[in-house]
Amino acid sequence: MKKRILLGITGSIAAYKTPELIRKLKEQHHDVRVVLTSCGKAFVTPLTLQAVSQHKVYEELVDAEAEAAMSHIDLARWPECILIAPATAHVIAKLAHGFADDLLSTLCLASNTRLIIAPAMNQAMWSNRATRDNVAKLKERDCLFIGPGEGSQACGEFGLGRMLEPQEIVDVLSKVFIKPYLQNQRILITAGQTQECIDPVRYLSNRSSGKMGFALAQAAIEAGAEVTLISGPVALTPPKKLKFIPVKTAAEMLAAVEREISQQTIFISTAAVADYQVVNPALQKIKKSSAPLTLQLKPTVDILATVSQMNLEARPLLIGFAAETEYTLKFAEEKRRSKNIDLMVVNDVSQTDIGFDSDKNEVTVLSSDVPIHLACASKQSIAQQLLQIAANRMLSTKKNANTPL
């Protein structure tokens, strides 16, 4: 997933968003180098961009110091994609007509890599026939346009022309960079919490938001897999292009898994299934009183362990999740071994900035090999990395199976 990205920053007020864009790209483990035009320098400083990118910022076409380190021709050969964000109407016009009068336009003309453009301009400039013709020319050359978005603009007007937010740009790039490495794979994912009734208005549950499971489902679709998502109650919209099965209780989730598990090549159990259920749920609402209330609980069925013990024609790759608050690796490894699963993904939910309702996560993947630590990143990024690990594991298993004794 790691890519070498050359980011071109031009003279738009939207340039103030670029330090955040660079930070988010680096969170995805991309190597980012920056080319700053003379007009772009009026809105964001080279020092700021150097600090966030951790690389020298390139500004001049003829620069003796830069030539000694990396010539503009070498720089044109370095990236796997060139992203221009923000891209003004002027720069789009230069690119459309093949001008090469500064470093950025020269690099674009000298490079054979994919050109991705995030426009930023006044809504009247974006809708102008000249701009539309220039955009059409670049699209004919396989340039990808991200945006623009619609909204209030710095000039006080409203309409199409504003640069997309950094996270929106990163999300689009993630989809562009993904190859369909999970094509022909069928993946079953459980997500969210389950709810075990106490009475008609109360239930036992947990704080799971379902975000990690839904991120995995989206990433699997983008990687070409056929996805089935079984989810407990969550406040999320299911991704498109998958089979979605809503459930409420642990028993309902288990029944759905048992119906769907055959023919699956990967089973990912991200759901935070309730560990206990009430033995005899009340048929009517339990009235509040001053007396203590005792509930008799019994364990729910362990879905992942049940699947592991099934006599399936072809055993899928089994991936579990363990949310721990102490001795995280020790407890997670014990679960992996006792349930006989291939990969156990563990995160420390005592950290308030990751897991549960957070949009970020930090995990360690346990297997029979060396643990793999995935640093704190967006759950979408973690999902993509986990699926790559799963794909590599399947490939390794297949190679070992084909190796003669």
Tokens standing for residue 237: 């919209």
pLDDT (tens digit per residue) in 88-133: 999 999 999 999 999 999 999 988 898 999 999 999 999 999 999 9
- Please tell me the predicted confidence (pLDDT) of residue 139: 92
The answer to whether 161 touches 239, Cβ cutoff 8 Å, is no
Q: How many CB atoms are closer than 10 A to CB 339?
A: 18
Equal fold, 4-177 vs 186-402: yes
The answer to whether 344 touches 328, Cβ cutoff 8 Å, is no
Separation between Cα atoms, residue 100 and residue 107, nearest integer Å: 8
Average pLDDT, rounded, for the chain = 90
Please report, rounded to a whole number, the percentage of residues in the chain having pLDDT higher than 70.
Answer: 95
Taking CA atoms, 236 is separated from 80, 246, 254, 289, 380, in Å, by 34, 12, 21, 36, 14
Sequence spans of domains, the chain: 4-177, 186-402
Taking CA atoms, 154 is separated from 91, 111, 149, 159, 288, in Å, by 19, 33, 13, 11, 57
Q: For residue 399, is pLDDT > 80?
A: no
- Please state the pTM of the whole predicted model: 0.68
Q: For residue 354, is pLDDT > 60?
A: yes
Give the confidence band of 179 by pLDDT, cuts at 50, 70, 90: confident
**Helix or strand or coil: residue 245?**
strand
Q: What is the CATH number that goes with domain 4-177? A: 3.40.50.1950
The answer to whether 96 touches 131, Cβ cutoff 8 Å, is no
pLDDT (tens digit per residue) in 334-348: 999 999 999 999 988
Q: Does the annotation count 155 as an active-site position?
A: yes
pLDDT (tens digit per residue) in 368-390: 888 999 988 889 889 989 999 99
**Cα 33–Cα 39–Cα 45 angle in degrees, nearest 5:** 55
**Cα 7–Cα 12–Cα 13 angle in degrees, nearest 5:** 110
Q: For residue 405, is pLDDT > 50?
A: no
- The fourth-level CATH superfamily of domain 186-402 is CoaB-like (3.40.50.10300)
Helix (H) or strand (E) holding 253: helix 250-260
Total number of residues shown for the chain = 405
- Please tell me the predicted confidence (pLDDT) of residue 63: 65
- Please tell me the predicted confidence (pLDDT) of residue 369: 86
Residue of 214, 267, 219, 266 whose CA lies nearest to 244: 214
Q: For residue 65, is pLDDT > 80?
A: no
- Please tell me the predicted confidence (pLDDT) of residue 95: 96
pLDDT (tens digit per residue) in 232-290: 999 999 998 999 999 999 999 999 999 999 989 999 999 999 999 999 999 999 999 99
Give the confidence band of 404 by pLDDT, cuts at 50, 70, 90: very low
Tokens standing for residue 324: 């721990």
Tokens standing for residue 256: 């759905």
Q: How many CB atoms are closer than 10 A to CB 399?
A: 9
Catalytic residue, candidates 81, 108, 155, 197? 155
Q: For residue 350, is pLDDT > 90?
A: no
Residue of 109, 104, 107, 148 whose CA lies nearest to 126: 148
When pLDDT is averaged across residues 294-298 and rounded to a whole number, the result is: 95
Burial 24-44 (b: 16+ CB within 10 A, else e): bbbebebbbbbbbbebbbebb
Taking CA atoms, 306 is separated from 160, 222, 351, 400, in Å, by 53, 29, 30, 26
Separation between Cα atoms, residue 83 and residue 69, nearest integer Å: 22
pLDDT (tens digit per residue) in 9-47: 999 999 999 999 999 999 888 999 999 999 999 999 999
